[in-house]
């Protein structure tokens, strides 16, 4: 099965979990997820381009990036790494941010949780890599948690599109 045709699977859980199998070795997938120049090629919603990316890949370090949408709208995001276990696991807090890295609200969903604990695992089998992403809201209010719980379908669609872009990038690499 080609990477682009790989099936995306989700688990039923109060938190959000999505997995995808890629036709690429784990080392390559790890590099695609941890090297800013590679991430610029695939990271973010379809149609967006990465404008800026600065990464300090270590526990306590961060990745700050800016993206522009097809209409020119800019959005910024930040990841603050808690665990970096190459090439199998990344754990970080992610949030929307301003250009300086200050935490901001989601530009289109004001009741979205300010911070999300993200765990990404990469498992290789027979030259193929399963990437699993788990999202858990952090310090969320009841309203923020409700927004998160009601957004699983949208998150699934967003991650599926992002995984499609990663598959395309990996196929070219």
pTM higher than 0.95 for the full model? no
Q: Which long-range contacts (CB under 8 A, 24 or more apart) does 5-8 make?
A: 6/167, 8/156, 8/159, 8/160, 8/163
Span between the terminal Cα atoms of the chain, in Å: 17
Q: Superfamily assignment of 8-172 in CATH? A: START domain (3.30.530.20)
Q: What pLDDT does residue 134 have?
A: 97
The answer to whether the beta carbons of residues 5 and 67 sit under 8 Å apart is no
Q: Tens digits of per-residue pLDDT, 30-47?
A: 999 999 999 999 998 888
Q: Which long-range contacts (CB under 8 A, 24 or more apart) does 149-158 make?
A: 149/14, 151/109, 151/112, 152/10, 152/16, 155/16, 155/18, 156/8, 156/10, 156/16, 156/18, 158/45
Q: What is the mean pLDDT of residues 37-64?
A: 95
Provide the pairing of β-strand 16-22 with 128-138: antiparallel
Least-confidence region, from 43-47, 53-57, 65-69, 119-123: 43-47
Length of the chain: 173
Q: Tens digits of per-residue pLDDT, 76-113?
A: 999 999 999 999 999 999 999 999 999 999 998 999 99
Residue 141's pLDDT band, with cuts at 50, 70 and 90, is very high
Residue 16 DSSP SS3: strand
Pick the most confident of 8-17, 43-52, 131-140. 131-140
Measured distance CA(168)–CA(43) in Å, rounded? 11
């Amino acid at each position: 099965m080609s990477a682009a045709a790989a099936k995306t699977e989700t688990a039923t859980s109060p938190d959000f979990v999505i997995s995808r199998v890629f036709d690429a070795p784990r080392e390559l997938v790890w590099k695609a997820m941890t090297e800013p120049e590679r991430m610029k090629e695939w990271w973010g919603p379809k149609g967006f381009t990465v404008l800026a990316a600065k990464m300090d890949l270590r526990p306590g370090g961060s990745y700050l990036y800016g993206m522009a949408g097809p209409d020119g709208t800019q959005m910024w995001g930040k990841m603050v790494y808690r665990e970096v276990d190459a090439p199998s696991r990344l754990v970080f807090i992610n949030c929307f941010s301003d250009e300086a890295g200050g935490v901001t609200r989601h530009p289109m969903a004001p009741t979205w949780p300010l911070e999300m604990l993200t765990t990404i695992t990469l498992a290789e089998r027979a030259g193929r890599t399963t990437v699993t992403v788990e999202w858990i809201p952090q310090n969320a209010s009841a309203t923020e948690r409700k927004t998160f719980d009601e957004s699983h379908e949208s998150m699934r669609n967003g991650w599926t599109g992002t995984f499609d872009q990663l598959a395309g990038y990996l196929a070219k690499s």
